[in-house]
Amino acid sequence: MDAIKNSLAAIYGEKFKEEHYLRLSENMNNARREINVSRKRGWDESDVVLITYADQFSSPGESRLATFKRFFDNYLRSTFSHVHLLPFYPWSSDDGFSVIDYHQVDPINGDWDDVARLGESARLMFDFVCNHMSAKSEWFRNYLHQKPGYEDFFIAVDPSTDLSAVTRPRALPLLTPFTLADGQVRHLWTTFSDDQIDLNFASPEVLLAMVDVLLHYLKEGAQYVRLDAVGFMWKTPGTCCIHLEKTHLLVKLFRAIVDYVAPGTVIITETNVPHKDNISYLGNGHDEAQMVYQFPLPPLVLHAIHTRSARTLCDWANSLDASGGDTTWFNFLASHDGIGLNPLRGILPEAEILALVEDLQAEGARVNWKNNPDGSRSPYEVNVTYMDALNTRGCSDSTRLSRFLLAHAILLSFPGVPAVYIQSILGSRNDEEGVKRLGYNRAINRQKYTEAEIAQALNSSGNLRHETWRQLSHLINVRRDHAAFHPDSEFRAELLSEQLFVIVRRALNGEEIKAIFNLGNTAQTVLLTEGWRRELISDAVINAPEITLNPWQAMWLSKA
């Protein structure tokens, strides 16, 4: 409670009055009494997250979440400990990230009982879309109608204000004009689109309303909470309006609230920015987020496999500050968004980033661009399935799968909690029809399925979907069985050659695993020191002084 009071004082000063604090305290204490889902403290090697939409699968006559739970139980429950449900609330755009009502489940997905039933099969991760909400929401309608209590819910700015320093994630206008009930025109802050109106956290009423949302999610079983677009939460014209001090204070406040109400809840910040800014959300290691998305990992693994050189990936891996204790990484290769390029800046020369983008575009990937203050533009995101990002159109399915499994073996070897996107475990290719039908680039990696069609593919041996699901599930389950892959286990990376990359993990109990990755298109032989007795992925006994890795192959070696 001291941390909560200190954060409130630092953010609001005297604006946060005693009546505000009494309301906040009452809501927190009520939530604390209501919560009956125990949370796991910390993390271990068994924690692996599935990222998915709630409406990913459909079946006639039932809610999407009911269908998803059955599919998950049949095909994925033995592989994943957690399910990250992307926004499943009523929405108006951006595939859920323009939320109409934070407190409801979109009727097509079901209701809170459906969410609770899924929570019986896996621990749940919810999105807290805290920066903005839908222009179709009741809150925004109340603002436009000038209903008392909503006067300061959104951010009105004089359009003549100099906002040139503001960091822009989109090549779209920052301010959008709206007309109030009395005919006034106000220009409101819209960081992402004219349907996503930024909330005004400078208002204590907005804070109380959004904390109420957070408390609701905790009561409904959220054990991991993802803070979406969190870096933009506080606005001060004349600054960059990203990663401001009061944004960090808000994250610290959210952390203190969940620690008080539901100890063990994990706060994860989503900040697709360079590494130094990203890890700043870990605070002092105890007072802010417990996890940050490891955004450089997806493009660096992709770059390594494209160039058949692990040098940059290895150098970057060894530069990471050690995670462990109260913080760790949230590692992933693919997600509902594209592959972010901004985290590469400062790690790779711009010419190499542009070369990678050109290679991907030539094979069908889409690219999103951002405007720079000097009037130029830069690519900030590539939209593509990770399967197709790793390969060319002319590759055989066996090559596709080899490169794909290699990339995921690297992912699963890194310290941190790994997350796998639903399209990845399903072996999905680019959804060109989806892009044409829906009209936006990110649709290329957001295909939805009937339960019948995807079950048929997974149950039919020999096709790319079946083999991807079978072999990636096996890889994940091998990882979950070994303490050396605990997020906090010792980690080091080294190069045996340009194409041979090694990660060594060592657990507190002494278990050691050497992961070797061949990023080349030719077989590579590696001499072994004594003691390496088993290759874990194939469960093969090692009885020779050397091993040979096929092109695009990974091996996990154990002394046990």
pLDDT at 371 over 80: no
- What is the structure's pLDDT at 529? 84
Q: Give the span between the Cα atoms of 406 and 401, in whole angstroms.
A: 8
For residue range 240-253, list pLDDT tens digits in order.
999 999 999 999 99
Backbone phi and psi for residue 208, each to the nearest 5 degrees, phi listed first: -60, -40
- What is the structure's pLDDT at 412? 98
For residue range 114-145, list pLDDT tens digits in order.
999 999 999 999 999 999 999 999 999 999 99
For residue range 479-505, list pLDDT tens digits in order.
999 999 999 999 999 999 999 999 999
- What is the structure's pLDDT at 323? 60
Mean pLDDT value of segment 213-237: 97
- What is the structure's pLDDT at 324? 64
For residue range 499-510, list pLDDT tens digits in order.
999 999 999 999
84 has which bridge partners? 51, 125
**C-beta of residue 553 within 8 angstroms of C-beta of residue 538:** no
Which of the four pLDDT bands, split at 50, 70 and 90, describes residue 273? confident
Alpha helices in 220-274 (DSSP H): 245-261
φ/ψ region of 414 (left if φ > 0, alpha if ψ in -120 to 50, else beta) reads beta
SS3 (DSSP) at 329: strand
Q: Give the span between the Cα atoms of 335 and 423, in whole angstroms.
A: 8
* pTM for the model: 0.97
**C-beta of residue 481 within 8 angstroms of C-beta of residue 438:** no
SS3 (DSSP) at 94: helix
What is the DSSP pairing of strand 500-506 with strand 490-495? antiparallel
- What is the structure's pLDDT at 530? 80
Catalytic residues: 228
For residue range 307-352, list pLDDT tens digits in order.
999 999 999 999 987 666 799 999 999 999 999 998 898 999 999 9
- What is the structure's pLDDT at 31? 97
Backbone phi and psi for residue 115, each to the nearest 5 degrees, phi listed first: -65, -45
- What is the structure's pLDDT at 370? 78
pLDDT at 429 over 90: yes
E strands present in 215-373: 222-227, 266-269, 291-293, 328-332, 339-340, 366-371
Q: Give the span between the Cα atoms of 298 and 21, in whole angstroms.
A: 42
- What is the structure's pLDDT at 426? 98
- What is the structure's pLDDT at 322? 60
Backbone phi and psi for residue 222, each to the nearest 5 degrees, phi listed first: -65, 125
540 has which bridge partners? 535
Mean pLDDT value of segment 541-554: 96
**C-beta of residue 475 within 8 angstroms of C-beta of residue 466:** no
Mean pLDDT value of segment 15-24: 97
Burial of 542 (C-beta count, 10 Å sphere; 0-12/13-18/19+): middle
